[in-house]
Amino acid sequence: LAQRTQQSTEEIEELIAGLQSGTQRVASVMDASRQLTDSSVELTRRAGSSLETITHTVSSIQAMNQQIATAAEQQSATAEEINRSVMNVRDISDQTSAASEETASSSVELARLGTHLQGLVGRFRL
C-alpha cells in the first residue's frame, strides 16, 4: 500500500509538473499574441490615419479638377473622366479607411480578450 501510495504521489507530481509547464507555455504564447495584437492595432491606426490623409488629398484634387473643367470648355470631357476616377479612388479610400477602423476595433477587442484569457490562465499557476 505504501509503495502504491508512493507511485500515485509520483504520478500526481508528474501530472502537476506537466500542467505547470503547459500553463507556462500557454501564458508565453498568449503574451506573445497580445504583443503582436498591440503592434497590429498600432499599425492599423497608422494606416487609417494615412488613408484619411489620402482621402482629403483626393477630395482636394477633385475640387481642382472641377475648376479646370470650368475654365477650359474644350477639356470638359477629359476633366469629367478624371473627376469620376478621382471619386472612385476617394470611395475606395473611404471604404479602406472604414475597414481599417473596423480592423483596429477588432484588434483592440482581441487584445482585451487575450489579456483577459491570460489573467484566467494565470489563476491556474501553482
89 neighbors 55 (Cβ within 8 angstroms): no
Q: Which residues contact 52 (CB under 8 A, 6 or more apart)?
A: 97
pLDDT of 126:
54
pLDDT, tens digit (0-9, with 9 covering 90-100), for 60-71:
988 887 787 677
pLDDT of 88:
92
What's the CA angle centered on 90, arms 87 and 91, to 5 degrees?
85
Residue type present at position 124: F
Residue spans of the domains in the chain: they are 2-122
**pLDDT band at residue 79, thresholds of 50, 70 and 90?**
low
Q: pTM (2 decimals)?
A: 0.38
115 neighbors 32 (Cβ within 8 angstroms): no
Given a cut of 90, is residue 103 above it in pLDDT?
A: no
Q: How many CB atoms lie within 10 A of CB 100?
A: 20
- Tell me the mean pLDDT in the region 45-59: 89
CA distance 40 to 58: 26
Given a cut of 80, is residue 116 above it in pLDDT?
A: yes
Alpha helices in the chain (DSSP H): 2-71, 76-122
pLDDT of 80:
77
27 neighbors 120 (Cβ within 8 angstroms): no
- Grid look-up 501564458 returns 27
CA distance 70 to 20: 74
